[in-house]
């Protein structure tokens, strides 16, 4: 699915802003056809944003089930002969779209875009009504998984439902990313796949382009219904043409090319054009392209044949009030903080991030490990097996593979994406994990053979049944925090032995994808104790001593970039406090320690 971009043949209309909103407390909205008429009892709700923290109603914050959004919009008459598409960047976790009472699209999965052709259901020059139903239920058919309990205990409200899930971030819900109405011609460029290579100073851009025709264009049986010729122009960052090619597939050779490098990005623009027999442009789509290569050895990770060491974070799309809603100001602030601290990379833990964030990473030269929303594949109880048919079985596997396909389809052309992560902290010690992830790994290699892939492990190296299937060992470790809590002295010995065992067993490079300690900003004590800023600094330093001794360690991602919201728990004080920055993006003491290490080195 191509991200909407304006061109000489394409226009778009922003449908973000203030919408009308109704919680569906009793799950009656679709049966009562709420999509068929205007509402008189709605409240106002911003889009994009999570709805949970917008009002003062705790019942809405913890609601389990459907909510409904509605707004009106107008379409200019000049769009009458175009194909019109409504695109939603993401909605957690399931959604359906109606336009003027007509159902046009539905989607399962809360972190990837979906769209529907609305051309035959709109009024040009008049007012149209857009309705979106969003459902936040997690069960054993969804990613992440969960369980919904219909509570009938004494003292609970009648019909009360409780959502349980096995991941450690709040289940924010709503329309989290932009809603856009965009146009294409009736015959249009439907998909582009780009693969790049480097030969000396020469860049190679191999492309495949697919064109399609709408139902309306097909009905016309005219020129718009006939295949058009494809022309591809490559422009440098100044807009100067540096290459041209013809046909649906081809290779553009770029002598003396500028390469996309971490911290020094360069983006070309690949302009794909459909051209009719009179040489008039039928459709045009500009795609940013970075020329770079990635490969892995037993002890190293290489971008453009240069050794790369990951410095950065696991992150979350999370902030006060807006929850997981896309916020341009917050995103720029986060990238500025990463530059300030010396980070060169992050993981999209634990789900795909917004298209807009991926575009920023391309533009700013920040490396990304792109992760599927497969988190919580674990009940954290060795007596509770999860890789069984009625939990993580064939149904969830098909969901997993489908969402991986959507992820690769969306992000395959981003130069910032150097590795896929298929899951985080699954119960890979279970025997049933092997066939499950063997299928996942096989499917991923078929979809994209140009990038390495990983699974993020928390098990012991002797327990993993799946690590050999992947290219890089990604390991989460909390020695001195969840185990031997507060005992800083044991960290180095335990960690070094652990990492050496991983490398000896699997012979692959190791990236530490999580290590960190909850820290309440302003808490101090020396000698250090848990939750103080002094403890967080000493904790990180002990880990760094080990990383620096092991040449097969290829990177360090601290958990987490910033404090974030979780479900309520006696072990969570206003969320997870492992952030190097507060939720409001203010630095803790450890931020200065990391800045010293990542920009000047730490002894």
The answer to whether residues 529 and 535 touch, using CB atoms and an 8 Å cutoff, is: yes
In a domain, 153, yes or no: no
Q: Are residues 348 and 314 in the same domain?
A: yes
> In CATH, what number is assigned to the domain containing residue 222?
2.60.40.10
In a domain, 70, yes or no: yes
Q: Give the span between the Cα atoms of 172 and 560, in whole angstroms.
A: 18
Per-residue pLDDT band at 227 (split at 50, 70, 90): confident
Q: Are residues 298 and 248 in the same domain?
A: no
Number of domains in the chain: 3
Q: Give the domain extent around 48.
A: 12-136+171-183
Looking at 514, 533, 538, 556, which residue is catalytic?
514
Give tens-digit pLDDT for 136-180.
999 999 999 999 988 766 666 666 789 999 999 999 999 999 999
Q: Are residues 255 and 305 in the same domain?
A: no
Q: Are residues 244 and 324 in the same domain?
A: no
**Is 534 one of the annotated active-site residues of the chain?**
no
Q: Are residues 573 and 459 in the same domain?
A: yes
For position 603, what pLDDT does the model report?
A: 36
Residue 229, φ and ψ in degrees, nearest 5: -75, 150
Q: Are residues 224 and 328 in the same domain?
A: no
**Is 514 one of the annotated active-site residues of the chain?**
yes
The phi-psi region of residue 75 (left if phi > 0; otherwise alpha if psi is between -120 and 50; otherwise beta) is beta
In a domain, 537, yes or no: yes
The Cβ of residue 209 has, within 10 Å, a number of other Cβ atoms equal to 23
Q: Are residues 283 and 302 in the same domain?
A: no
Looking at 115, 224, 371, 425, which residue is catalytic?
425
Q: Give the span between the Cα atoms of 444 and 405, in whole angstroms.
A: 8
For position 156, what pLDDT does the model report?
A: 67
The answer to whether residues 436 and 387 touch, using CB atoms and an 8 Å cutoff, is: yes
Residue 520, φ and ψ in degrees, nearest 5: -95, 115
Least confident of 214-228, 311-325, 545-559: 214-228
For position 219, what pLDDT does the model report?
A: 62
More confident residue, 602 or 124: 124
Of 421, 450, 409, 448, which Cα lies nearest the Cα of 196? 450
For position 152, what pLDDT does the model report?
A: 67
Per-residue pLDDT band at 216 (split at 50, 70, 90): confident
Q: Are residues 354 and 412 in the same domain?
A: yes
Q: Which pairs with CB-CB distance under 8 Å and at least 24 residues apart come from 189-194?
A: 189/2, 189/272, 189/274, 189/283, 189/284, 189/285, 190/2, 191/1, 191/2, 191/409, 192/2, 192/270, 192/272, 192/285, 192/287, 192/413, 193/412, 193/413, 194/270, 194/287, 194/289, 194/412, 194/413
For position 602, what pLDDT does the model report?
A: 44
Per-residue pLDDT band at 131 (split at 50, 70, 90): very high
In a domain, 84, yes or no: yes
Of 135, 91, 139, 134, which Cα lies nearest the Cα of 112? 91
Give tens-digit pLDDT for 375-417.
999 999 999 999 999 999 999 999 999 999 999 999 999 999 9
In a domain, 145, yes or no: no
Q: Give the span between the Cα atoms of 477 and 421, in whole angstroms.
A: 17
Give tens-digit pLDDT for 504-543.
999 999 999 999 999 999 999 999 999 999 999 999 999 9
> In CATH, what number is assigned to the domain containing residue 69?
2.60.120.260
Give tens-digit pLDDT for 300-337.
999 999 999 999 999 999 999 999 999 999 999 999 99
> In CATH, what number is assigned to the domain containing residue 384?
3.20.20.80
376: Cα within 13 Å, side-chain hemisphere: 24
Computed over every residue of the chain, the mean pLDDT equals 96
């Amino acid at each position: 699915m191509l991200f909407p971009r304006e061109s000489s043949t394409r226009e778009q209309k922003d449908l973000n802003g203030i919408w009308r909103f109704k919680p569906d407390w009793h799950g009656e909205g679709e049966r009562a056809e709420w999509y068929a008429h205007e509402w008189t009892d709605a409240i106002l709700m911003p889009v994009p944003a999570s709805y949970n923290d917008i009002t003062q109603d705790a019942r809405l914050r913890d609601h389990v089930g459907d909510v409904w959004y509605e707004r009106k919009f107008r379409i200019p008459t000049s769009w009458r002969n175009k194909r019109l598409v409504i695109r939603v960047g993401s909605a957690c976790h399931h959604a359906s779209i109606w336009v003027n009472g007509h159902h046009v699209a539905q989607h399962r999965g809360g972190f990837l875009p979906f769209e529907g052709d609305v051309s035959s259901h709109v009024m040009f020059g008049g007012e149209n009504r857009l309705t979106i139903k969003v459902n936040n239920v997690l069960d054993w058919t969804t990613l992440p998984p969960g369980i919904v309990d219909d509570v009938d205990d004494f003292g609970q409200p009648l019909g009360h439902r409780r959502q349980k899930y096995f991941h450690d971030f709040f289940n924010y819900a709503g329309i989290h990313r932009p809603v856009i109405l965009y146009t294409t011609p009736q015959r249009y460029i439907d998909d582009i796949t780009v693969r790049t290579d480097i030969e000396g100073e020469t860049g190679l851009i191999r492309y495949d382009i697919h064109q399609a025709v709408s139902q309306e264009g097909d009905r016309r049986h005219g020129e718009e219904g006939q295949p058009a010729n494809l022309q591809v122009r490559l422009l440098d960052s100044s807009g100067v043409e540096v290459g041209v090619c013809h046909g649906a597939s081809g290779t553009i050779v770029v002598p003396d090319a500028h390469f996309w490098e971490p911290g020094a990005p360069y983006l070309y623009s690949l302009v794909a054009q459909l051209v009719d027999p009179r040489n008039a442009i039928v459709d045009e789509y500009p795609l940013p392209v970075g020329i770079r290569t990635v490969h892995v050895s037993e002890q190293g990770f290489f971008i453009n044949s240069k050794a790369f060491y990951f410095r950065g974070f696991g992150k979350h799309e999370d902030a006060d009030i807006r929850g997981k809603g896309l916020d341009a100001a917050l995103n720029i602030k986060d990238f500025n903080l990463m530059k300030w601290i010396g980070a060169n990379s992050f993981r999209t833990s634990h789900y795909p991030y917004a298209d807009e964030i991926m575009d920023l990473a391309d533009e700013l030269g920040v490396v990304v490990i792109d992760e599927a929303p497969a988190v919580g594949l674990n009940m954290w109880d060795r007596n509770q097996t999860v890789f069984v048919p009625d939990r993580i079985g064939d149904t969830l596997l098909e969901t997993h593979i489908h969402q991986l396909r959507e992820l690769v389809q969306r992000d395959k052309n981003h130069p910032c994406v150097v590795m896929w992560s298929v899951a985080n902290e699954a119960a890979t010690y279970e025997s049933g994990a092997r066939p499950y992830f063997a299928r996942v790994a096989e499917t991923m290699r078929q979809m994209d053979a140009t990038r390495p892939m990983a699974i993020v492990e928390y098990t012991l190296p002797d327990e993993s049944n799946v690590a050999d299937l992947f290219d890089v060992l990604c390991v989460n470790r909390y020695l001195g925090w969840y185990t031997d809590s507060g005992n800083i002295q044991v960290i180095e010995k335990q960690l070094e032995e652990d990492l050496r065992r991983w490398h000896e067993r699997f012979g692959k490079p190791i990236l530490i994808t999580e290590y960190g300690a909850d820290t309440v900003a302003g808490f101090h004590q020396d000698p250090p104790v848990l939750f103080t800023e002094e403890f967080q600094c000493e904790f990180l330093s002990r880990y760094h001593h080990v990383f620096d001794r092991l040449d097969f360690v290829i990177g360090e991602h601290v958990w987490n970039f910033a404090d974030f919201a979780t479900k309520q728990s006696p072990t969570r004080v206003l969320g997870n406090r492992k952030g190097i920055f507060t939720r409001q993006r203010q630095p803790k003491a450890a931020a200065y320690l990391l800045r010293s290490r990542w920009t000047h080195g730490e002894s």
